[in-house]
Chains A and B, each alone.
Chain A
Amino acid sequence: MKAAPFDYVRADTLSHALETLNQYGGDAKLIAGGQSLVPMMAMRLARPACLIDINRLDSLKDVQLHDHEVRLGAGVRQRDLEFHPQLNSHLPLIAKGIQWVGHEQTRNRGTVGGSLVHADPSAELALAAMVLDVRLQLESTTEGVRTLQADAFFLGPMFTAVGETEALTDIIWPVWQGGRIGTAFEETAIRKGDFAMASAACQIQTTLEGSISKVSFGLGGVDGTPRVYPELAATLIGQHMSPALAQQVAHEAAQQTQPGSDMHASAAYRKHLAQALLTRALLSAYQESLHAQLPQDR
C-alpha cells in the first residue's frame, strides 16, 4: 500500500498555503497531522495531485484562553491539548474527550483542525465541538474569512462545509460562565483508541439546589455526523437528574439515531450502546456538577 505520486509544497505562510490551494483548484489537499489522510492515501481512497504541508505554520498553533471562550488554532496538536496546563479548567469536556482520541503516537501528530475537517462520524473532537456548539473560522483567497457554527459545518460522514480551496484556521470554543459545571465523555471501542462504536458526551450546569440550569449532550459514531439534542436537553431544564430520567432521555436520543452495521457491531447493538453510554454520561456529568466549585477556579 503506497500512496499514488503527488507533488509536495511546504507552506511558509497561511497565504502561501491558500494561494497554492487555489492554484490547484481542488486537486490539492492540506496536510497537518496526516493521521487520517496518509492512511487514506496509502489505500488510494485519496489521490491528491499535491500535498500542501501546513505543519510548520506557527500562526495555526495558537491557544488563546479567554474567560468566555478558547480560541484554538487548527494546527494545535491533540497531544498539546492533552497536556495543556489550563485547558481543563476552561474546557473540561475536551480534556476528557481527548483521552479517547487515538493513541499517543497518533495524538503526537494529529491536530484539532485535522480531526474536525476529516469529520469521521465517530471522532471525539467532532462530538465535543457539537456539544459545545463551537464556531469554526474558514479562510480562502477568493472568499476571505467566514465563520460557521458546528451544526452547519458537519454535513455528513467525512463531509464538511469546507470548500475545496478553503482552510479551517481557528476553532472558537465557548466557555460556560459561572460554576457548578459537570462534564462526562463515555465511549466503547474494540480497543482503546480505535474508532468508537458509540460515544456520548455531556456538559451540565446546576443551581445550588441541584436543578439543571443548562445542559448539552450528544452522541457520536451512531449517525453520519455526531449529533446533539437541543429539544430533549430543553426538557431537562429545572429538573433534578435521576437514573430513571437519564435512562428515559438517553432512550429517546438513541431511538432518533440511524447507526450502520459492520463487522464490529450491528445497528441494534450500537443503539443499545448509545443509550447505555448516554445514560452514564448524563448521570456522571450531573453528579460532577453538584460537587464542582462555585465559581469555577481558573
Chain B
Amino acid sequence: MTQSTMTSTHTPIEKKSIQIQVNGVIQQRHVEPRTSLVDFLRDELGLTGTHVGCEHGVCGACTVMLNDEPVRACCMFAVQADEMRVTTVEGLAPERGVMTQIQDAFCEKHALQCGYCTPGMLMACHALVAHNPQPTEAQVRDAISSNICRCTGYQQIVDAVMYATQAQKA
C-alpha cells in the first residue's frame, strides 16, 4: 500500500479517557478505543508480565483478573475496563520478592520451561483456587484447558497446583 492511500483511508479517532485500578493502583490514561486491554497493560503501564500469545482468544497467555474473574485481556478493549479492577501476574504476590504458594510450587515442580504461558497459567490456577481451594486433578486439568503450553505437556503444571493446594491442607 502506498503512503498516499494509507493517509487517505486514515480517519483520526478521538482518544478516550479511562481510569482503571490495576494491582491496587488507580491508573488514568487517554487511549485509542482500539487499544486492547493487554496492549494497554504492557505498552501504557509497562506491566509486561502479562504475555501476548495468539491475540484472538485461543492461547490464554494474556489471562488477567477483571473484577476478580479471569478473562482474556486480548479479547476486550481497554476502554471497556474503565472504572474496573484488573489484577495481573505482577499483582498476585503481596510484595516484591515474595511469591504465592502456587508460584513457589511452579518453581518446585518445574511447571515451566520457556515461561511464555506461565503468567496466563498462574492466573488460571489462582482463579481456580480462589473458589476451590482443594481441587481434584481433573478440576485442575479443566481449569487450565483454556491455556496452551507447548513445553511441559501440562503434567508438571497439574503437579504444581496439586502440590500447592495439598501443602495448604497439611
Chain A at the B interface: mostly helix, strand, loop or mixed? loop
By size class, the interface of chain A is 20 to 34
A85 interface contact, C-beta 8 A: no
- What's the Cα separation between A192 and B139 when bound, in Å? 13
B66→A38 contact, CB < 8 A: no
CB distance from A78 to the nearest CB of B (A): 12
Number of chain B interface residues as a range: 20 to 34
Contact assessment for A5 and B34 in the assembled complex, using a CB-CB cutoff below 8 Å: yes
State whether the Cβ of B142 lies closer than 8 Å to any Cβ in chain A.
Answer: yes
Q: Which of B56, B79, B82 contacts A43 (CB 8 A)?
A: B56
Separation in Å of the A213 CB from the closest CB of chain B?
A: 36
**A51 B71 Cβ-Cβ under 8 A:** no
Interchain nearest-CB distance for B41 vs A (Å) = 15
Cross-chain contact A105 with B56 (CB below 8 angstroms): no
Contact of B14 among A7, A39, A103 (CB under 8 A): A7
B56 close to A8 (CB less than 8 A): no
Cβ-defined partner of B76 (8 Å) among A34, A43, A102: A34
Q: Does A141 contact B (CB under 8 A)?
A: no
A34, B75: Cβ atoms closer than 8 Å: yes
A5-B76 contact given A104-B70, A106-B57, CB 8 Å threshold: no
**CB contact between A109 and one of B16, B39, B56, B71 (< 8 Å): that residue:** B71
Residues of B within 8 A of A1 (CB): 55-56
Query: Which residues of B sit under 8 angstroms from A24, Cβ to Cβ?
Result: none
Give CA–CA (A55, B32) in the complex, Å: 19
Of B13, B72, B75, B143, the residue contacting A5 (CB under 8 A) is B13
Residue from B56, B57, B76 whose CB has the most chain A CB atoms within 10 Å: B57
- A104's partner among B36, B55, B146 (CB-CB below 8 A) is B146
CA distance A197 to B40 in the complex (A): 35
Please provide the chain B residues from 48 to 75 with a CB less than 8 Å away from any CB of chain A in the complex. 55-57, 60, 63, 66, 69-72, 74-75
In addition to A103-B145, A192-B142, 7 A-B residue pairs with Cβ atoms within 8 Å of each other are A2-B36, A3-B34, A6-B34, A34-B77, A38-B77, A42-B74, A106-B72
